[in-house]
Amino acid sequence: MSAKDSMRRHKTALQVTLSADRRLILDKVYARKLITPREYNNLKSINKENDEGHVIELVDKLMNKGEGACRTFLDLLQTDEDVRSTFPDLQSIQLNDGLPRPVQASSPFSGGLYEDNKRPRMDDAYPLNSRPVGLCLIINNVNFMESPMRKGSDKDAESLAVVFSWLGFRVLMCKDQTKDQMEETLAGFASLTDFLQPHEQSLQEWSGGAFTAPQQLLEHGDAFICCVLSHGRKGVVLGVDMKPLEIKQITRTFKGSDQSCLTGKPKVFLIQACQGGQIQPGVLLANLEPDNSGSQSNPVEGDVLVAIATVEDYVSFRHRTNGSWFVQSVCQQLKERCPRGEDIISILHHVNNDVGQKEACRVPGEAKQMPEVRFTLRKKLVLLPHQESN
């Protein structure tokens, strides 16, 4: 049974029990960052006839936030000492029916769908308590000045937006950027300068199944995702003006500092671009294109993961309609394995295996692709769904 199903089964008992001190449970939920400041103020001031009415609103809101929020809420009820002492009747409610036992009061992974031996301990995994979990930036270069259009890239951007919004991220996209514009965008996201606030016309946000103009100010959470979809060469990605931007410069833009709000937090970079022009002999199947027009730098900064579609010197493949092998595999593996509690490194191992088995040639083994992953993550990064999967 999922955490959400458990809350649904015991909803009446929870509402009656927690009504004994609605302000305490509201404050505890807010401290866990399960609700936003605006939601907190609204819940605190809503006009209800009794305390139970306030608790009903809170429980409904948490259930609407999805499985991840429900897991964290059940963990709070079972492990927080203030909650346990204030609401002793909670012990008689079988909140963990079919669920693993919660581990620690502040663990964002407690009450999940996966087994105890697969759940990272608090000190083993990055805490992801913010809502949203963080920002996901997609740089989607499709139309180039002196190179073929990257057909299928919009499909990749949409697939990434769907899966990372499902995982609790706020997804934003900049399209068809020159090298200088990419640098400016990355620097803007690193510092969240006024350049990248909602009035910036080139910025679009994934909402309601489409990219539209963002309406709210941008704010970093507990993790950051950056996806660059473009042509590339060894060690670089290309702007639509065909000027190169080094991959190491992309990652170092987010280098930790005393002023950076991302210091100590996981930063994941997914690069869909060729890293050279070499390809083993063979005839490409119809509708497959190479994404060329390096050496991926080994990030010296901590808390960084860089996954590139292919090893240095070689092309990566992109279907003109269905998108690239690498991005589509990443999205599929995240959908399958995140609900199980697998960490990002393990998931990318499966991506490597999946992409490595694909064939770009009618003769098996003649034209292949192998992604490359390098990281300086200090802990496990486990992304959990925050919305119901479609």
So which residues are the catalytic ones? 231, 274
Locate tokens 């279907």: which residue?
319
| CA gap 232, 82 in Å, rounded | 54
Buried b (16+ CB within 10 A) or exposed e, 238-248: bbbeeebbebb
CA 87 vs CA 8, 80, 91, 102, 107: distances in Å: 19, 11, 8, 18, 20
Nearest of 26, 30, 65, 24 to residue 46 by alpha carbon:
26
Amino acid in the structure at residue 6: S
Q: H or E element: which one contains 356?
A: helix 344-356
What would the two tokens of residue 298 be? 């080994």
Q: How far apart are CA 84 and CA 65, in angstroms?
A: 24
Are 185 and 355 in contact by the 8 Å Cβ rule? The answer is: no
3-state secondary structure of 186: helix
Query: Under 8 Å CB-to-CB from 25, ≥6 apart: which residues?
Result: 18, 55, 58, 83, 87
Sequence letter at residue 229? L
Cα separation of 207 and 190, whole Å? 22
DSSP conformational letter for 33: T
